[in-house]
Amino acid sequence: MIGTIAFAISGAIVAMEEDYDILGIYILGIVTAFGGGAIRNLLIGVPVSTLWEQGTFFQIALLSITLIIIFPHHLLKHWHKWGNFTDAIGLSAFAIQGALYAADMNHPLSAIIVAAVLTGSGGGMIRDLLAQRKPLVLRSEIYAVWAIITGLLIGLNIFTSSVELIILFITITALRVLSYTYKWKLPTKQYKLN
Looking at residue 136, its pLDDT comes to: 75
Q: Rounded mean pLDDT of the chain?
A: 88
Quick check: 110 pLDDT over 90?
yes
Nearest-5° Cα angle at 32, 30 to 37: 95
Quick check: 49 pLDDT over 80?
no
| Higher per-residue pLDDT: 151 or 134 | 151
| Higher per-residue pLDDT: 19 or 87 | 19
Quick check: 139 pLDDT over 90?
no
**Mean pLDDT to the nearest integer, 67-83:** 73
Instruction: Output the pTM of the full model.
Output: 0.84
Residues 100 and 120: their CA atoms lie apart, in Å, by 12
Residues 77 and 167: their CA atoms lie apart, in Å, by 31
CB 92 within 8 A of CB 167: no
Looking at residue 81, its pLDDT comes to: 66
Quick check: 113 pLDDT over 70?
yes
Quick check: 46 pLDDT over 90?
no
Looking at residue 63, its pLDDT comes to: 96
Helix (H) or strand (E) holding 107: none
Looking at residue 79, its pLDDT comes to: 64
